[in-house]
Structure 1
C-alpha cells in the first residue's frame, strides 16, 4: 500500500471527522498550541529585537543567544521540562518558544538596523521621540523582514507542536504517536499530511498579512 492510499483511506473514513479524536478537534487543538507559543515567542523576540536594532547595541549577544537556542534539542528539552514541571502545557510551551524566539529576534534586529538612516535622522530633526521614530519610521520599513521572521517561527512551531502528544496532550501529533503505537500507518500518514497542510496554510496566511500590512512602496523595494 502506498502513501496516497493511506491518505485517501484516512480522510475518507467518517470516524476521523467526529468526536474528540476527529480531524476538526485535533486541528483546532494544534492551532491553539501553535498560536499560544507564537504569541509568547513574539512577546519576547519582537520588543528585544526592535529596541536593540533601534539603538544598534547587543548584536553579538543576540547572535550568541540565537545560536545557543537553535542548538537546544527540542525533544530533549521537552523531557527535561517534564521532569521539572510534571505533565502539563508548560513543558510543551518551553521548547516551542525556545525554538521560535531566534527566528523572530535576529531578523527583527537586522531589519531595524538596516533601515536607511536618512529618514530616521530627519524624523529626529523634526523632534520626534525615540519610540515614535522606531514605530512610525523604522518599523514600517523593516516590516517585511519582521514578518518573514514571524512566518519562519510560525512554520517551525506548527511543524514541531506534534510533541504535545508525547505528554498526553492533543493536536495532530496524537495521530502520529497513537498511530505508531497501534501500528496504524494510515493514521500516521494522515496526521503527517495534516501537519504539512497546516504549514502550507500558515505560509498563505503570512503572505496575505504581508500584502495587507506592508505598503506597496516598501514591498517593491524589498
Structure 2
C-alpha cells in the first residue's frame, strides 16, 4: 500500500511530504535538508566513518520515506569512497510518481534519487559503486534479520503519530540489531524515549539539534 502524501517546500528550499493519513510531515518544516544533514549525516554517518575506518559500513534506516537520508548517505559514501550497505524499511512507501516531484537532486547536484525510489523492493541494488541499497516493505515490528549494523537512522514518525514505535520493546529490538560500538541517531529527544533507550542497554548522548530543535539523540551500544 502506497502512502497518500502532499509535497510542500520547507524553509531551506528542500521538499518534505505530508502523510495525509497521519497529518505529519516526513521532515522538519524549518528545513528538510538541514535536519537530515545534522541528525543522520553529521551525528551518525560521519562519526561512523571515523569510528569504523576499515569496515564496509552497514546502515539500517527506519522509514525510507522521501529517500533524503539515503540520498545524503550515498553522496557522502561517494565523496569519502567508503562502501555503504544500506537497508531501509517502510510499511507504506511513497509512490514513484510522487517521488519524481521531489527536488533533492536539483538542490544537492546529485542524480540518483530516481534510482533510489525506482529500485525494486526486497532486492539488493547497487545505486553507485559505493552504495548498495535494500528496501524492505514491512512494519518494523514484523521484521527480522540476521544482519547487524554499525549505524541506525531512526526516522519513524513522531510519538504522537506512531507511539508503538517508541516503546521499550522497540529499542530492545534495535539494540539487538547494533554491532558493539554501533550507534542510533534520531531527532526525538523526549525524556521517556531516552529512558526506553537506556532500559535497552544503550548509552544516550544529547547533542545540539538543527534549526528550531534544541536537542537530538545519539545512542551507543557499548558491548
Identify the TM-score tier after normalising by the shorter chain. Answer: under 0.3
Task: Write 1 or 2 for the structure with the bigger share of strand.
Answer: 2
- What is the TM-score normalised by the length of structure 1? 0.23
Larger helix percent: 1
Rg: which structure is higher? 1
Bigger relative contact order, structure 1 or 2 (CA pairs below 8 A, ≥6 apart): 1
